[in-house]
Every structure is written in structure tokens, then in C-alpha cells.
């Protein structure tokens, strides 16, 4: 039996993006796989009064179980309502989004199981096939008032099963045609971001006095050209973790072995949010802070073995990180 997101108290992204476009900020799209992550996201977004997109990859859906996941989305809304009332805060809008859906069947399954927003990523297909697949998902989704994100251009790094050696920047001249033919509500573009904690090779970067890698700047010229071609249309940035050296250093000081980690500097994300970028995807930074807190905990207290003893501090680290993003990077705080 299928269930609509509306019955779960979730919202689609239409109103969120309209407000973000007018207010020149970006809505955070945070990935989650488990309870501590979803608790941290909801707590941080409620306390900073930010709208939020809870994002689930196909791998996350397999990991968490697709049935349980529906209830996690519903539970996130219910938890937010109870905490909002207890703290005297306004309720925040929450969307449940499929990240990097790659087939119509997966998109349909998520739609039928309470998702309010879908990404169909056909960017690895030839252009015409990308158009066809995206349009098929849009038709099914729009009949149910669900919003759809497409993708044009390929990000370097790993997009679920799709391994892209090199990034192929989005071609601004294709954007209008793609949006007209597919009727997508938003579009993920490639302007130099990529997935994971190693977004650039060391040889692509310069180093500052502290030995920290400074990556090349994002291609704001492409973003500007896209805005000229299709004014007022919602753009999405994937691969937008900043890979904070503080977290990487804690991991490595406590037995980890992360090498040549480099992310997108926060000031570039702040700048992107001033453009038509209304959704910014962040996953790796959460993974890093969670790992840093857990590694440190085990080093400091090797006798602990109750998961609450190490997942509790990890959850606190996540809450701090998400609040920081909303307040100081994306500008979504105070816009619920
Ligand atoms: O874009 C990919 C996200 O970071 C999700 O990664 O497929 O390992 O869950 P995942
Ligand atoms: P990061 O790996 O930079 O966090 O990107 C996540 C993402 O784009 C999810 O779709
Ligand atoms: Zn992504």
C-alpha cells in the first residue's frame, strides 16, 4: 500500500526554494543513514529555525531498510513538533528527498513510500537518455505534487555507482532545453565541486603557511551564465562539504589515516548561496565529525563499550556542525 508524504507531515521543496531564492540563502540537504544523524539534523535545524531537506541515497535506503526509513521520516516530523512545542519554537518545514536516484523504479518506490522530493540523476547517460528518464520521473512525481531535481554535467569523484574520473562542467547552453523538456523543478550542476573528502588532487591546489591545501575556485562564471540563460531557476550544488581540517586532524591523531583531504572552502559556499543556488548537499562533513568524535572517545576511554557512550558525543559534534552550516555558511538559519 502506498503512502503520501502529506500524510507524514512532510513538505515538498517548492515553497522552501521560493523563499530561499528571494532571501538569497540555501536550504541545507543533509544525508542520513541512522538515528543519531537524523536526531542531530532535526535538533540543529529546529534550534536554528532552518528549513531542512533530509536526504537518502539508494545505499542509505538499503542500509537503513526502506520500510523503517519511511517511519524515520515520519518520526523526524513528530519529534520536531514535540520539541518545538516544548521549547516554544516555530515548527520547521522538513522534506524527505531521494539523493542520486538512478532508475524510474527506485524513484517510484520512494514516491510510493512517503518521499516528498526526488533526485533523478541521469547525468551519466547520453543527453537524450537523461532527458527521457528525467521526464518519466517528473510525470509520475508531479501527478502526486512531488518536486524533482535533475542533473546536467558530471561531478568528479564517485556518484553512487557512477565513477567519474574527471568532472564535466555543465554546459549552460543545454540548461534551458533540458529544463523545458523535462519540467524539473531544480537542477544540480557541475561547477567544480565533487563528492567525498578528497575533492581535489594535491597538485591541483596551492598550500598556505599552515600546510593546508587551497583548492581552485569554483566556476562562478558558469553559474552566472546559467543564471542569464534561465533567470530565477533553482540550482543545486552537490559535493559541498568543506572537509574541515580540525576534524581530519582529530581523526588522524586518534589512529585514522586520512590523506590529502580537501573540500570546498566555506566562503565559496557562502558566495554560491548569493546566486540561484537554493540547495546545498552535505554528507562527508557529517561522516568526518562523527568519526572524529568516535575515534577520540575510544582513545580517551578504551574501556567503554556501550554504544551510547560514543554515539552520544558523535551526535553532539554533528549538532554543532549543522548549526554552524545553517548560521554561518548557508544562511538558512532563521528562515523556517
Ligand atoms: O552523493 C553521495 C552521498 O554522499 C551518499 O553517499 O551513496 O555512500 O550513501 P552513499
Ligand atoms: P559531499 O561528499 O561533499 O558531502 O557531497 C554530498 C552530496 O552531494 C550528496 O548528494
Ligand atoms: Zn551528490
Query: 93: which strand partners?
Result: none
Give residue-wise pLDDT tens across range 75-97.
Answer: 999 999 999 999 999 999 999 99
CA distance 228 to 33: 37
Pocket lining: 184 vs ligand 1, CB cutoff 6 Å:
no
Which of 98, 160, 264 for a ligand 1 pocket mutation test, highest count of atoms within 8 Å of Cβ? 160
Ligand 2 contacts (CB < 6 A) are 31, 99-100, 195-196, 238-241, 281-284
Has 99 been annotated as catalytic? yes
Cα diameter, the chain? 60
For residue 60, give the C-alpha cell: 542509505
State yes or no: pLDDT of 219 exceeds 70.
Answer: yes
Residue nearest to atom 1 of ligand 2 (CA): 239
Per residue in 23-71, pLDDT (tens digit) is: 999 999 999 999 999 999 999 999 999 999 999 999 999 999 999 999 9
For ligand 1, atom 5, the nearest C-alpha belongs to 57
Ligand 1 center–CA 161 separation, angstroms? 10
CA-to-CA separations, 254 to 82, 176, 186, 303, in angstroms, rounded: 37, 49, 41, 15
Predicted pLDDT at 212: 85
Nearest CA to ligand 2 atom 9: 281
Task: Give distance in angstroms: CA of 88 to centre of ligand 3.
Answer: 35
Distance from C-alpha of 290 to C-alpha of 256, rounded to nearest angstrom: 13
Sequence-ordered alpha helix ranges (H) in 212-335? 220-229, 245-253, 266-274, 284-300, 307-324
How many angstroms separate the CA atoms of 284 and 294, rounded?
Answer: 15
Task: Report how far ligand 1's centroid is from the alpha carbon of 92 (Å).
Answer: 25
Mean predicted confidence (pLDDT) in 214-218:
93
Distance 194 CA to ligand 3 centre (A): 8
β-partners of residue 269 are none
CA of residue 257 to ligand 2 center, whole Å:
21
Q: Is 279 in the pocket of ligand 1 (CB under 6 A)?
A: no
d(CA 165, CA 158) in angstroms, rounded, equals 8
Give the domain ranges of the chain.
5-330
Backbone angles phi, psi at 277, to 5 degrees: -75, 110
Mutate to test the pocket of ligand 1, among 28, 54, 55, 60 (most ligand atoms within 8 A of CB): 60
How would you label 14-31 residue by residue, b for 16+ Cβ within 10 Å and e otherwise?
bebbebbbeeebbbbbbb
> SS3 helix, strand, coil % of the chain, rounded to 5?
50, 20, 35
**Which helix H or strand E contains 127, and what residues bound it?**
helix 127-142
| CATH ID of 5-330, from 3.20.20.70, 3.30.365.10, 3.40.50.1950, 1.20.80.30 | 3.20.20.70
Residues comprising the chain, all counted: 336
- Per-residue pLDDT tens for 224-275? 999 999 999 999 999 999 999 999 999 999 999 999 999 999 999 999 999 9
Residue nearest to atom 4 of ligand 1 (CA): 283
Average pLDDT of the chain?
95
Pocket flag, ligand 1, residue 174 (CB < 6 Å): no
Q: What is the pLDDT of residue 161?
A: 45
Stretch 167-179: mean pLDDT, rounded?
Answer: 93
Minimal CA–CA distance to 95: which of 19, 15, 2? 15
**Of 243, 232, 233, nearest in space to 269 by CA:** 243
Amino acid at each position: 500500500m502506498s503512502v503520501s508524504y502529506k500524510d507524514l507531515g512532510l513538505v515538498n521543496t517548492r515553497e522552501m526554494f521560493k523563499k530561499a531564492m528571494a532571501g538569497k540563502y540555501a536550504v541545507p540537504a543533509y544525508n542520513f543513514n541512522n538515528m543519531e544523524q537524523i536526531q542531530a539534523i532535526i535538533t540543529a535545524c529546529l534550534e536554528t529555525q532552518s528549513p531542512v531537506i533530509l536526504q537518502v541515497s539508494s545505499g542509505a535506503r538499503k542500509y537503513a531498510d526502506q520500510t523503517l526509513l519511511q517511519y524515520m521520516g515520519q518520526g523526524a516530523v513528530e519529534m520536531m513538533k514535540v520539541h518545538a512545542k516544548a521549547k516554544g519554537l516555530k515548527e520547521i518545514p522538513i522534506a524527505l528527498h531521494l539523493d542520486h536516484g538512478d532508475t524510474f523504479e527506485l524513484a517510484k518506490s520512494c514516491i510510493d513510500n512517503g518521499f516528498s522530493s526526488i533526485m533523478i540523476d541521469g547525468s551519466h547517460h547520453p543527453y537524450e537518455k537523461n532527458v527521457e528518464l528525467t521526464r518519466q520521473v517528473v510525470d509520475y512525481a508531479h501527478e502526486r505534487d512531488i518536486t524533482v531535481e535533475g542533473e546536467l554535467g558530471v561531478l568528479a569523484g564517485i556518484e553512487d555507482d557512477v565513477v567519474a574520473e574527471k568532472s564535466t562542467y555543465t554546459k549552460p547552453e543545454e540548461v534551458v532545453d533540458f529544463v523545458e523538456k523535462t519540467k524539473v523543478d531544480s537542477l544540480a550542476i557541475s561547477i567544480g565541486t565533487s563528492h567525498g573528502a578528497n575533492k581535489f588532487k594535491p597538485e591541483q591546489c596551492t598550500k598556505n603557511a599552515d600546510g593546508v591545501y587551497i583548492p581552485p575556485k569554483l566556476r562562478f562564471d558558469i553559474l552566472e551564465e546559467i543564471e542569464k540563460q534561465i533567470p530565477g531557476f533553482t540550482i543545486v550544488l552537490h559535493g559541498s562539504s568543506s572537509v574541515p581540517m580540525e576534524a581530519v586532524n582529530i581523526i588522524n591523531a586518534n589512529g585514522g589515516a586520512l590523506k590529502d583531504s580537501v573540500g570546498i572552502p566555506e566562503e565559496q559556499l557562502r558566495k554560491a548561496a548569493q546566486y540561484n543556488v537554493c540547495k546545498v548537499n552535505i554528507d562527508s562533513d557529517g561522516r568526518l565529525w562523527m568519526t572524529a568524535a568516535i575515534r577520540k572517545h575510544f582513545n580517551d576511554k578504551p574501556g567503554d563499550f556501550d554504544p551510547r557512550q560514543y554515539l552520544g558525543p558523535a551526535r553532539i559534534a554533528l549538532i554543532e556542525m549543522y548549526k554552524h552550516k545553517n548560521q554561518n555558511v548557508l544562511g538558512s538559519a532563521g528562515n523556517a
